[in-house]
């Protein structure tokens, strides 16, 4: 319950950076991890971890020596994440600076990037900058996963984001809907 209250507070303060009034469900987190190759990954990046629902699932799949970099723009959530997930390198910064934080951690290209960012709440220009940073950072063959709320995916901003994914990745797939998420959502899985 504490996570829900903290997440709602983050939404009230910065709705366009938070994008949701409640954390994602554990079911959506598992769907995000499916097919990402986390068990074999050396370097994994999480964008917009919020209260850590996806982070917990990612860590459960990683081998002990893998590196997990989490970029969270909200300073209170970043501080909470760093305390909750000491194994992860939690950075309070924008996802656009992904490459510099990978280098600071002694890494070059991640094997996969998992994003909890509220893509459809962003302007087209911001979407392009953020996704450009992801594509530039990912290794060849690297994987990217993010989710979309079912109700918003078919609106113009949601359709625009799908086209942006398709213009940046040769392979874009959609998962089945996770109905036990508030609101229902599905996962985009992309490969560079």
pLDDT digits (tens, 9 = 90+) for 39-48: 999 999 999 9
HEC profile for the chain? CHHHHHHHHHHHHCHHHHCCCCCCCHHHHHHHHCCCCHHHCCEEEEECCCCCHHHHHHHHHCCCCCEEEEECCCHHHHHHHHHHCCCCEEECCCHHHHHHHHHHCCCCCCCEEEECCCHHHCCHHHHHHHHHHHHHHCCCCCEEEEEEEHHHHCCHHHHHHHHHHHHHCCEEEECCCECCCCCCEEEEEEEC
Kindly report the pTM of this predicted structure. Answer: 0.88
In order of their start, the domains of the chain are 30-191 (3.40.50.150)
pLDDT band at 22; cut points 50, 70, 90 = low
High-pLDDT (> 90) share of the chain, %: 85
């Amino acid at each position: 319950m504490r996570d829900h209250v903290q997440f709602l507070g983050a939404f009230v303060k910065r709705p366009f950076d938070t994008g949701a009034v409640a954390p994602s469900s554990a079911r959506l987190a598992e769907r995000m991890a499916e097919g990402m190759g986390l068990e074999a990954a050396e370097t994994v990046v999480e964008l917009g971890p919020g209260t850590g629902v996806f982070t917990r699932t990612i860590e459960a799949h990683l081998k002990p020596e893998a590196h997990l970099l989490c970029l969270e723009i909200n300073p209170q959530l970043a501080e909470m994440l760093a305390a909750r997930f000491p194994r992860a390198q939690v950075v309070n910064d924008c996802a656009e600076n992904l490459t510099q934080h990978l280098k600071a951690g002694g890494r070059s290209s991640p094997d996969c990037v998992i994003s909890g960012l509220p893509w459809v709440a962003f302007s087209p220009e911001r979407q392009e900058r953020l996704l450009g940073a992801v594509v530039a950072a990912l290794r060849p063959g690297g994987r990217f996963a993010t989710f979309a709320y079912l109700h918003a995916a078919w609106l113009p901003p949601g359709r625009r984001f799908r086209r942006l994914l398709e213009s940046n990745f040769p392979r874009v797939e959609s998962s089945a809907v996770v109905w036990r998420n508030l609101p229902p959502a599905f996962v985009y899985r992309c490969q560079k």
